[in-house]
């Protein structure tokens, strides 16, 4: 069986013409056989050529790449969450299912973030009620955010390649108005008790995406004004440390210029989250 007959198309290892080929692949490649013994058969596999193929596990949203550099076996690289460039190799209906599940996971993660914001706001209010109002370094009192003003300041582009954040949606909740906007894979949210964003970060990624750097700069510029550059430099250093930890255990919560900043990876949703609170 020639590779060319099977290359360039998603194949099922358990049915159809792909099943027989899959059995042959396991016989000639001990690395593939060992991987299947440990992780189970993939939902799909994709042969690129004689030297490379991919496994796709749709239910767990995971992929692995096998590169044959030795006669007796291949070298495996676990790719974590199925990269967007590879997701398009799968059947269209499967792609729609994966994208719908990811969207739902991100909505749940954002709801979790909002719930944490509300708890933090209640805690902060209690702290302020227990003593005199806090005073920022510039001498002004720290209170709630001026939500419409922050939204307005986040609209303009920061670089020539940046489209800015133009299309905001307003929703009403028991806590007041909540504004949200989506720019590529970055979702922004502005409310009376927080300004936040989440940006997609695959499980295999170990460095901060440029889109997250831009989002940190945008949020800080809208809140910290003249102090924004100094805050951004510090926060990007911490964000890099957070994303570098693929376990998701490295997160930060600290006070900067009279505000509380929280950030960290959320592996369950495949995002990096950043938020600023009064």
* 268: in domain: yes
* 258: in domain: yes
* 97: in domain: no
Amino acid 46: pLDDT? 96
Do residues 9 and 86 share a domain? yes
Do residues 116 and 77 share a domain? no
* 61: in domain: yes
Do residues 74 and 159 share a domain? no
Do residues 30 and 133 share a domain? no
> For tokens 């209170």, what's the residue?
143
259 CB neighbour count, 10 Å cutoff:
19
Range of the domain at 75: 3-90
Q: Answer with the one of 36, 67, 90 that is the final residue of a domain.
A: 90
Q: What is the pLDDT along the chain (278 residues), one digit of tens a residue?
A: 466 788 899 999 999 889 999 999 998 888 899 999 999 999 999 999 888 899 999 998 899 999 886 655 688 888 888 888 899 999 999 999 998 988 888 787 777 666 665 665 565 555 444 444 333 343 333 334 678 888 888 888 887 778 889 889 888 766 678 899 998 889 999 988 889 999 999 888 888 989 999 999 999 998 888 888 999 999 999 999 999 988 888 889 888 888 889 999 988 888 999 999 87
* 98: in domain: no
192's CB contacts (< 8 A; 6+ apart) are 144, 145, 147, 175, 176, 177
Do residues 47 and 162 share a domain? no
Do residues 155 and 260 share a domain? yes
Residue 32: Cβ-neighbour burial (10 angstroms; 0-12, 13-18, 19+): buried
DSSP 142: P
Q: Answer with the one of 44, 65, 90 that is the final residue of a domain.
A: 90
Do residues 131 and 222 share a domain? yes
Do residues 54 and 114 share a domain? no
DSSP 4: G
Do residues 148 and 256 share a domain? yes
Amino acid 247: pLDDT? 86
Do residues 167 and 217 share a domain? yes
* 34: in domain: yes
276's CB contacts (< 8 A; 6+ apart) are 194, 195, 196, 219, 220, 223, 259, 260, 261
Do residues 86 and 119 share a domain? no
The number of domains in the chain is: 2
- CB-facing half-sphere around the CA of 151: CA atoms within 13 A: 18
Helix or strand holding residue 123 (H, E): helix 92-129
Amino acid 148: pLDDT? 84
Do residues 238 and 140 share a domain? yes
- Look up residue 214 and give its two tokens: 């831009």
Amino acid 138: pLDDT? 39
Q: Answer with the one of 65, 90, 115 that is the final residue of a domain.
A: 90
* 215: in domain: yes
Amino acid 186: pLDDT? 92
Amino acid 255: pLDDT? 87
* 99: in domain: no
């Amino acid at each position: 069986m020639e590779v060319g007959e099977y290359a360039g198309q998603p194949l099922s290892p358990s049915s159809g013409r792909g099943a027989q080929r899959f059995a042959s692949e396991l016989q000639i490649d001990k690395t593939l056989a060992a991987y299947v013994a440990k992780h189970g058969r993939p939902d799909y596999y994709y042969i690129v050529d004689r030297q490379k193929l991919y496994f796709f596990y749709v239910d767990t949203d995971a992929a692995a790449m096998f590169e044959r550099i030795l006669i007796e076996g291949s070298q495996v690289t676990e790719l974590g969450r199925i990269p967007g460039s590879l997701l398009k190799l799968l059947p269209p209906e499967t792609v729609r299912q994966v994208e719908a599940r990811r969207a739902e996971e991100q909505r749940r993660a954002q709801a979790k973030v909002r719930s944490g914001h509300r708890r933090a706001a209640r805690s902060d209010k209690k702290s302020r009620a227990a003593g005199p109002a806090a005073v920022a370094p510039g001498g002004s009192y720290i209170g709630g955010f001026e939500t419409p003003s922050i939204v307005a300041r986040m609209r303009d582009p920061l670089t020539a390649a940046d489209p800015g954040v133009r299309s905001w949606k307003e929703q009403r909740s028991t806590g007041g108005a909540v504004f949200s906007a989506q720019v590529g894979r970055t979702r922004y949210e502005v409310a009376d008790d927080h300004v936040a964003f989440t940006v997609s970060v695959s499980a295999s990624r170990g460095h901060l995406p440029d889109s997250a750097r831009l989002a940190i700069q945008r949020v800080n510029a809208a809140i910290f004004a003249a102090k924004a550059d100094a805050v951004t430099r510090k926060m990007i250093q911490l964000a890099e440390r957070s994303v570098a930890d693929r376990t998701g255990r490295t997160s930060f919560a600290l006070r900067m210029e009279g505000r509380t900043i929280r950030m960290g990876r959320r592996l369950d949703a495949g995002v990096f989250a950043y938020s600023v609170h009064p």
